[in-house]
């Protein structure tokens, strides 16, 4: 997806990066070039300082291309990390921000067979640049999704729920009634883990940071299917030994924090269990004691969805997407709490997405 050289021009800069370079306008009809808008960064740094809203021209369509009108695109932690230059996958600069979102097909090239005008589509891979109003993409860069699922669910489908599902399925052979423990339980992945686990008959212990609205957060996570919600401080208390006497110890732990939080997850894992790390919010290393590795035979693994996609075929990723769409259709998987923000108010959305204890994902809307 990175090197298919279509050219796109702005009024102030020239950009050459992949066939995805293009953007557009209001949601009613294709716009004049001056109304094509995208959030662009020309160098890495603080998103508040390097991201700019620019006018772009829509690239010409080829036979295998799809003209997409973007509807909504979230701001994920990985988007922020990519802009800062602290991520495992970085696009050539200048780049359009955003790795996830949903759009509606406006027109297709003559050789396109997988989608048609009116269909909803999401990115097949990271780096597509979804923070724009309109674009021309190659057909292979897109996956069709049902247009009867909620917009916010479609916009947030291709990263966090996929990560949650794969971590629950790929590391331990869990059976209904088994327990899973996770930190960062209020994150997009955390909320998806709670719901997908419940749909699979698994039970979850969900660890969160203490905060002023803790009871409200606890009630919301339990409404999603969380069995227990604990704070980091509670998990460290001596009394937790009695808590785990009344239930089987978890065989799977999901770590998005690192540092002391991950140490506590390991402490409560069942012998032979696995801790999967998929993030490092604390910016501190994962530390496991020698005794945990020798006497409990705990396993430490990592998960990155981009690598999973490299190791699997596009058809397998599409199958994963459709499995999750089935959960959404049955009411078993909903989008995380979201705040919709118009594209032109992107500065407010970026600022909110980087604040601590934010319980609402920022979603940029294009019309």
CB-based contact 180:204 (threshold 8 Å): yes
* Residue 293, domain member (yes or no): yes
pLDDT number for residue 351: 95
* Residue stretches of the chain with pLDDT short of 70: 1-34, 357
* Residue 14, domain member (yes or no): no
Q: Is residue 171 domain-shared with residue 291, that is, in the same domain?
A: yes
pLDDT number for residue 355: 86
Q: Is residue 75 domain-shared with residue 144, that is, in the same domain?
A: yes
pLDDT number for residue 155: 98
* Residue 324, domain member (yes or no): no
Q: Is residue 153 domain-shared with residue 181, that is, in the same domain?
A: no
pLDDT number for residue 13: 35
Q: Is residue 263 domain-shared with residue 127, that is, in the same domain?
A: no
- Residue 84 maps to which CATH number? 3.90.180.10
Q: Is residue 279 domain-shared with residue 192, that is, in the same domain?
A: yes
Distance CA 108, CA 106 (A): 7
Number of domains in the chain: 2
> Can you give the pTM of this predicted structure?
0.88
Q: What count of other Cβ atoms lies within 10 Å of the Cβ of residue 166? A: 17
Q: Among 41, 87, 165, 346, which one carries the catalytic annotation?
A: 87
State the sign of the Cα–Cα–Cα–Cα dihedral 64, 127, 279, 308: positive
pLDDT number for residue 357: 67
| Residue 278 among the catalytic residues | no
Q: Is residue 177 domain-shared with residue 167, that is, in the same domain?
A: yes
Domain that holds residue 265: 160-306
* Residue 355, domain member (yes or no): yes
CB-based contact 97:126 (threshold 8 Å): no
What is the C-alpha end-to-end distance of the chain, expressed in Å?
Answer: 27
Contacts of residue 64, Cβ cutoff 8 Å, sequence gap at least 6: 109, 111, 112, 138, 139, 140
Distance CA 289, CA 269 (A): 13
pLDDT one-digit tens code per residue, 141-151:
999 999 999 99
């Amino acid at each position: 997806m990175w090197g298919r050289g279509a050219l796109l021009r702005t009024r102030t800069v020239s950009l050459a990066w992949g066939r995805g370079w293009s953007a557009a306008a209001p949601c009613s009809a294709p716009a004049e070039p001056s109304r094509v808008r995208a959030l662009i960064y020309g160098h890495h740094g603080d998103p508040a300082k390097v991201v700019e809203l620019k006018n772009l021209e829509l690239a010409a369509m080829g036979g295998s291309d799809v003209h997409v009108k973007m509807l909504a695109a979230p701001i994920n932690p990985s988007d922020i990390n990519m802009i800062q230059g602290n991520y495992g996958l970085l696009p050539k600069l200048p780049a359009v921000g955003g790795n996830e979102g949903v759009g509606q097909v406006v027109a297709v090239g003559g050789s396109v067979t997988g989608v048609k005008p009116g269909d909803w589509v999401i990115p097949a891979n990271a780096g597509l640049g979804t923070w724009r109003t309109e674009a021309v993409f190659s057909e292979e860069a897109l996956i069709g999704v049902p247009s009867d699922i909620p917009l916010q669910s479609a916009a947030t489908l291709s990263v966090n729920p996929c990560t949650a599902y794969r971590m629950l399925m790929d590391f331990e052979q869990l059976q209904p009634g088994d327990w899973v423990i996770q930190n960062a339980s209020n994150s997009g992945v955390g909320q998806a883990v709670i719901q997908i686990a419940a749909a699979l008959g698994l039970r979850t212990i969900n660890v969160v940071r203490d905060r002023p609205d803790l009871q409200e957060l606890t009630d919301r996570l339990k409404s999603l299917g969380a069995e227990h919600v604990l704070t980091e401080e509670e998990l460290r208390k001596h009394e937790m030994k009695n808590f785990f006497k009344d239930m089987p110890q978890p065989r799977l732990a999901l770590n998005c924090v690192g540092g002391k939080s991950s140490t506590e997850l390991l402490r409560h894992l069942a012998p032979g269990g696995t801790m999967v790390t998929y993030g490092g919010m604390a910016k501190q290393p994962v530390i496991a004691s020698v005794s945990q590795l020798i006497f409990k035979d705990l396993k430490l693994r990592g998960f990155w969805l981009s690598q999973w996609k490299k190791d699997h075929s596009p058809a397998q990723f599409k199958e994963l997407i459709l499995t999750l769409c089935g959960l959404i259709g049955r009411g078993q998987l909903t989008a995380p709490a979201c705040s919709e923000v118009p594209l032109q108010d992107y500065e407010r959305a970026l600022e909110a997405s980087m604040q601590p204890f934010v319980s609402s994902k920022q979603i940029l809307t294009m019309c």
